[in-house]
């Protein structure tokens, strides 16, 4: 019997739960929210699609009743306020740090062996907060950001090439930030061939820039943070863990010397399996890529320092 808890039944959390249910990733998905009736109503709505879509996962909603989350294999944290137009992910830190810390502690009380997947923004810093405050081994704390950013990168690449997005490979590492993420264009491929065979340098630059502001673009259009792709990315991470798929997915994880970094959670490719982070993959970055990764790490360290300013650490 596999069980996943999703804390936060807003747009992203509900999408995570919906995708998990539709793909039958877990036997049971519990959505928990502070607002009475929201998780219960969304869970009921989802369950009324079961006979239409043909899935057998049970979706349950509850209001602040962490006891119902007991025995979860994975806990997904989406709690916190979303971005508004013009707002950076970093500006959310003061409010979301307290929320993330509190809900993680409450959920782990009933599921002490669970693996934690953090989606709340600023994601790298919230993942670092979980690492420093919860006492869990580093393999059980995973930030989702790179999975989402890589999906956006592959979308923009496929649009530029004019091809099926499922035939494009590419990844984004570094911080989950509009200004410091690092789409690895040099390593991106279409059906195994370098994208340089299909796109000009100018087109590649445009794809990289579009990827980096992909979240902000959607926030500007929607008036709030996106949810379909973030929710699906969260589900992808959970599925690789719960089904022991050993997929290589860029995620924000704790580094201890890898890429020359320490005391940080930042996006790098990892192998995800039943133990959470099974292995960190060190890519052969060139001098330019390594310099950009280092700059991203410095920015992430600076954001993490705000945790002490707001009293979260």
My answer on whether 241 and 155 are in the same domain is yes
The single residue of 176, 232, 251, 312 carrying the catalytic annotation is 176
Position 92 scores a pLDDT of 75
Domain boundary at 100, 128, 145, which? 145
Residue 83 pLDDT > 70: no
My answer on whether 32 and 43 are in the same domain is yes
3-state secondary structure the chain: CCEEEEECCCHHHHHHHHHHHHCCCCCEEEEEECCCCHHHHHHHHHHCCHHHHCCCCEEEEEECCHHHHCCCCEEEECCCCCCCCCCCHHHHHHHHHHHHHHHHHHHHHHCCCCEEEECCCCHHHHHHHHHHHHCCCHHHEEECHHHHHHHHHHHHHHHHHCCCHHHEECCEEECCCCCCCEECHHHCEECCEEHHHCCCHHHHHHHHHHHHCHHHHHHHHHCCCCCHHHHHHHHHHHHHHHCCCCEEEEEEEEEECHHHCEEEEEEEEEEEECCEEEEECCCCCCHHHHHHHHHHHHHHHHHHHHHHHCCCC
| Beta-strand pair 74-77/262-273 | unpaired
My answer on whether 120 and 165 are in the same domain is no
Distance CA 176, CA 233 (A): 13
State the pLDDT confidence band at 51, using cuts at 50, 70 and 90: very high
Residue 91 pLDDT > 80: no
Share of the chain above pLDDT 90, in %: 91
Position 94 scores a pLDDT of 80
My answer on whether 9 and 128 are in the same domain is yes
Position 310 scores a pLDDT of 78
The domain tally of the chain equals 2
| Beta-strand pair 193-194/28-33 | unpaired
Residue 281 pLDDT > 70: yes
Residue 82 pLDDT > 80: no
pLDDT (mean) for 39-47: 98
My answer on whether 34 and 88 are in the same domain is yes
Share of the chain above pLDDT 70, in %: 98
Domain boundary at 116, 145, 174, which? 145
State the pLDDT confidence band at 90, using cuts at 50, 70 and 90: low
Position 89 scores a pLDDT of 61
Domain boundary at 145, 169, 199, which? 145
pLDDT (mean) for 218-242: 96
My answer on whether 157 and 177 are in the same domain is yes
Q: In the annotation, is 301 catalytic?
A: no
Domain of 111: which CATH number?
A: 3.40.50.720
Residue 87 pLDDT > 80: no
My answer on whether 85 and 123 are in the same domain is yes
Taking the whole predicted model, whether its pTM rises above 0.85 is answered as yes
Residue 79 pLDDT > 90: yes
Phi and psi dihedrals of 48, rounded to 5?
A: -80, -5
pLDDT digits (tens, 9 = 90+) for 115-174: 999 999 999 999 999 999 999 999 999 999 999 999 999 999 999 999 999 999 999 999
């Amino acid at each position: 019997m596999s069980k996943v808890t999703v804390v936060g039944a807003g747009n992203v959390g509900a999408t995570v739960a919906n995708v998990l249910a539709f793909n039958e990733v877990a036997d049971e998905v519990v959505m928990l929210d502070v607002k009475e009736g929201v998780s219960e109503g969304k869970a009921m709505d989802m369950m009324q699609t079961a006979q239409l879509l043909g899935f057998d996962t049970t979706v349950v909603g509850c209001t602040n009743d962490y006891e119902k989350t007991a025995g979860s294999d994975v806990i997904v944290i989406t709690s916190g306020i979303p971005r508004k137009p013009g707002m950076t992910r970093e500006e959310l830190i003061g409010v979301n740090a307290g929320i993330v810390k509190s809900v993680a502690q409450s959920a782990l009380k009933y599921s002490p062996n669970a693996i934690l997947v953090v989606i709340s923004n600023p994601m790298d810093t919230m993942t670092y907060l979980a690492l420093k405050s919860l006492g869990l081994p580093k393999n059980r704390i995973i930030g989702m950001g790179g999975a989402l950013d890589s999906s956006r990168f592959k979308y923009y690449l496929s649009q530029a090439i004019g091809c099926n997005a499922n035939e494009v490979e590419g990844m984004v590492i570094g911080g989950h930030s509009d200004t410091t993420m690092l789409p690895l264009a040099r390593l991106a491929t279409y059906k195994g061939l370098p994208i340089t065979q299909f796109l000009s340098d100018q087109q590649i630059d445009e794809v990289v820039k579009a990827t980096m502001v992909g979240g902000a673009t959607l926030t500007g259009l929607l008036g709030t943070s996106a949810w379909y792709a973030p929710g699906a990315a969260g589900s992808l991470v959970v599925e690789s863990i719960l089904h022991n798929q050993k997929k290589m997915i860029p995620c924000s994880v704790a580094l201890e010397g890898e890429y020359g970094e320490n005391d940080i959670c930042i996006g790098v490719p990892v192998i995800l399996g039943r133990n959470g982070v099974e292995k960190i993959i060190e890519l052969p970055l060139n001098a330019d890529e390594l310099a950009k990764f280092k700059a991203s790490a410095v920015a992430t360290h600076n954001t993490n320092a705000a945790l002490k300013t707001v009293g979260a650490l």
